[in-house]
Structure 1
């Protein structure tokens, strides 16, 4: 679209016209033709005209004539600008109220026209963005409403701000939860569920509902929404998933035990047959070797079964006060490691026998990773109210797949492994109320970290 004269050029032209008109009026009053008309009227018509024609009179007449002319021209120039400002004011008010349908209908080819087109383009962009946002919100709300995870969002006063269908069925027989006090809703739920929801921490709990046991995983998060504190609670039913995992675990256990039994019983059966054949032939010189091999395989099988039994019958930890010097000296009798830094000044508190067994297994694994004897390190430190124990090596580390499954029972990458070492370490650590993590080191190797809560000193 071709652009017409700009507002600046128009204003300059109008001001020039006003100036020329003023000069012409002043010249007409002081020089020609008004003085000649007055002289003609006095001479020929013998009229007395009391109209001075000097410079001051010319100035006054010019001002009187130019003032209304200037006002009219100023209105002519500023009227489109005033209309534009009023239209923009209405548009801004509409945007403030969330209405982006406002547009300005005007056909101009100057700066105001450019501003109008930019405004209409902005409105169109905002309308499209709002439409896309509304569609995404609708999709998100549909997904959240139909997910089997019960979702409850509460405000600072613990009133329900948002809840999906699963949450309504879990807490209010399918009725709306909007605006209800969540604490009052929890009064009608089992005690275990109520304590976990009010505890403010994540939890895995089993409750009795409708005559059967249901297992839930509760996840809680506090955050600020629109500057105000809110709390999000997610209740996920885990019963079916845990049942499937339990079945899968038992299948894995059966496969591992069957494999180990076959590996032991097959040679025992073969050796027993060979021993019977040697006895029938009267070749007794080789019988002691046959019986020794049978005994060795039987002891291996007994140790294998005992290991599984010890994992299944792991007793509850008995935390006691631990002096670091004595504990580390006892640990050094069972395995070789390099202590990094100094142990904490304050004594630790945990079950010495169980944690010692965990560290023996971890240090043994570190040596089996291919790390040098002096490359296996142990470090102890206090982080807040937690004891941090790290065992590190300089081996090849673990792949992401192995890291994700290394702590699962019966999972092992070793041909002769039972898959219980790290699982036992996890069981003992969590029984102490702590946690265990595995991570590859940037400089190479694996780092296993135990975090054990300690009493306040």
Structure 2
């Protein structure tokens, strides 16, 4: 029973019931007893005439009851609602503090009714918000520490091109260590090399080499646009690549020298030996065997010439000149150089590439497919438009490649064949990427290898 009375709803019901009962008692007292009897006694026994009737009518009794009960009701209502009003004001202040970002506000929980439960839930919410705020602050501090100390120069600009955030590396790169906040990034770049300005204005990722501080510096520029707090922003990342590229260049040159030395030794050693043998045969007058010796020397010389020519073609690869290419004539011309099975239908949309370079790539891939040991009818070519790209796929039914070979097959000077130069797939990758596309190798589930070229469709 006492637990039920602690409920705010029970108290309000009890209050309303008490008010109704009090009104009925006052009305009965005015109309029935004791007020009429009191007035008669005062008039007859004491001779006091108040001028009031001995009996009151309904409306008169109602007016007297209201006049008596209204002040009492107002006081009682104020007494009952005062704690509720105080609590609501406290909650209003707490919500205003939360709106301003201050989550330290809490309310003393002394009540044991529904309002007390509301206070406890409010305090729990405040505690949760405080903990989340603290975690966010710690994460923000960690992120800012990482960003500020990264060697990559980071610049964030708003829609007007003014810098809203820049890390330490960016300040040293563009403003001698001074702050960049609020400055126009385009104006800051006015003192930078022209190649750097053009790359930023181009809005695309780029790899560029510029003259800075009396030497050459290579940068990789990444640019992304996004919306922050509903407003457009642009993020630029400038990564110095000079040391990494220098190390890779040295490693590449070592690999090139090793491959060239190997090929030269494999060709020059037999040529030297055969030349000595030919001279000995000529000295002895044994001319019948000289044609065979000279033929072998010629074959090794032609092999060496082809090897050097392959490296020269890789180094002198011209920039592609893409144009719209109709597929049927292109495939008809390709079939004159190599055999393949066309899988699927020919897309209606024309391709957009340098026909000579892509034909060179496909001839090399189809040739590799035949040399893998696949049957002639197992070598296939298929075309498919995927989004804004055209996929050209060459597949075979050979043994495929191991995971180790797959990971390195596209690297320059890495040969997948015993007598290869390591330039075929690397040259294919170079041509495809020069077109703005990409190349991928994967083993087929049923056996064999699949080489996929993704080329952009049109401008």
TM-score w.r.t. the length of structure 1 is 0.85
The equivalent residue for 2:28 is 27
Once the two structures are TM-superposed, the CA of residue 345 in structure 1 deviates from its matched residue by 6.5
The equivalent residue for 1:438 is 440
Contact 1:151/1:163 (8 A) holds in 2? yes
Q: Distance in 2 between matches of 1:370 and 1:8?
A: 88
Count residues with an aligned counterpart. Answer: 451
Q: Distance in 1 between matches of 2:256 and 2:102?
A: 64
Once the two structures are TM-superposed, the CA of residue 415 in structure 1 deviates from its matched residue by 3.8
Contact 1:344/1:381 (8 A) holds in 2? no
Q: Distance in 2 between matches of 1:83 and 1:367?
A: 89
The 3 A distance-change label for structure 1 pair 13 and 336 is: same
The equivalent residue for 2:51 is 50
| Residues 125-156 of structure 1: per-residue CA shift (max 9 Å, x gap) | 11111111111111111111111111111111
Q: Distance in 2 between matches of 1:309 and 1:221?
A: 37
The equivalent residue for 1:170 is 173
Q: Which aligned pairs between 1:330-369 and structure 2 lie closer than 5 A?
A: 330-339=333-342, 340-342=344-346, 344=348, 350=354, 352=356, 354-368=357-371
The 3 A distance-change label for structure 1 pair 3 and 397 is: farther
Once the two structures are TM-superposed, the CA of residue 89 in structure 1 deviates from its matched residue by 1.5
Once the two structures are TM-superposed, the CA of residue 261 in structure 1 deviates from its matched residue by 4.9
Q: Does structure 1 residue 449 correspond to structure 2 residue 453?
A: yes
Contact 1:362/1:391 (8 A) holds in 2? no
Q: Distance in 2 between matches of 1:302 and 1:151?
A: 49
Q: Does structure 1 residue 40 correspond to structure 2 residue 36?
A: no
The equivalent residue for 2:147 is 144
The 3 A distance-change label for structure 1 pair 268 and 442 is: closer
Q: Distance in 1 between matches of 2:88 and 2:117?
A: 14
The equivalent residue for 2:103 is 100
Once the two structures are TM-superposed, the CA of residue 188 in structure 1 deviates from its matched residue by 0.5
Contact 2:324/2:458 (8 A) holds in 1? no
The 3 A distance-change label for structure 1 pair 250 and 40 is: same
The equivalent residue for 2:133 is 130
Aligned to 1:253, which of 256, 262, 265? 256
- With 70-79 and 95-104 compared, the bigger mean Cα shift is at 70-79
Aligned to 1:213, which of 197, 212, 216? 216
| Residues 384-416 of structure 1: per-residue CA shift (max 9 Å, x gap) | 9x8735023155766776555433212344444
- With 268-277 and 4-13 compared, the bigger mean Cα shift is at 268-277
Contact 1:152/1:232 (8 A) holds in 2? yes
Contact 1:186/1:194 (8 A) holds in 2? yes
Contact 1:3/1:110 (8 A) holds in 2? no
The 3 A distance-change label for structure 1 pair 319 and 128 is: closer
Q: Distance in 2 between matches of 1:281 and 1:374?
A: 55
The equivalent residue for 1:191 is 194
Q: Distance in 2 between matches of 1:150 and 1:93?
A: 40
The equivalent residue for 1:243 is 246
Contact 1:4/1:109 (8 A) holds in 2? no
Q: Distance in 2 between matches of 1:164 and 1:335?
A: 56
- With 128-137 and 47-56 compared, the bigger mean Cα shift is at 47-56
Q: Distance in 2 between matches of 1:293 and 1:191?
A: 56
- With 82-91 and 292-301 compared, the bigger mean Cα shift is at 292-301
Once the two structures are TM-superposed, the CA of residue 210 in structure 1 deviates from its matched residue by 1.2
Once the two structures are TM-superposed, the CA of residue 160 in structure 1 deviates from its matched residue by 0.8
The 3 A distance-change label for structure 1 pair 178 and 382 is: same
Contact 1:161/1:179 (8 A) holds in 2? yes
Contact 2:205/2:220 (8 A) holds in 1? yes
Once the two structures are TM-superposed, the CA of residue 215 in structure 1 deviates from its matched residue by 0.6
Contact 1:355/1:428 (8 A) holds in 2? yes
